[in-house]
Copies of this chain bind each other. A is one copy, B any other.
Amino acid sequence: MEQDPGFIAAVEEAKQGAAEGGVPIGACLVSGDGKILGRGHNMRVQKGSPVLHAEMSALENSGRLPASAYEGATMYTTLSPCDMCTGACILYKIKRVVIGENQSFMGGEEYLLNRGKEVIVVDNQECKDLMAKFMKEKPELWNEDIAV
Chain A residues within CB distance 8 Å of chain B = 44, 48-52, 56, 59-60, 62-67, 70, 82-88, 90-93, 108, 143-144, 146-148
Residue of B nearest to A148 (CB): B67
Q: Which residues of B contact A70 (CB under 8 A)?
A: 147
Q: Which residues of B contact A146 (CB under 8 A)?
A: 91
Copies of this protein in the complex = 2
Asked whether A88 and B51 contact (CB < 8 A) given A64-B144, A66-B144, A147-B70, the answer is: yes
Distance from A139 Cβ to chain B, minimum over Cβ atoms (Å): 13
User: What are 30 inter-chain pairs, A to B, with CB distance below 8 A?
Assistant: A44-B64, A48-B63, A50-B62, A50-B63, A50-B64, A50-B92, A51-B51, A51-B59, A51-B88, A64-B144, A65-B144, A67-B144, A67-B147, A67-B148, A82-B87, A82-B91, A83-B87, A83-B88, A83-B90, A84-B84, A84-B87, A84-B90, A84-B91, A85-B87, A86-B87, A87-B90, A87-B108, A91-B146, A92-B147, A93-B147
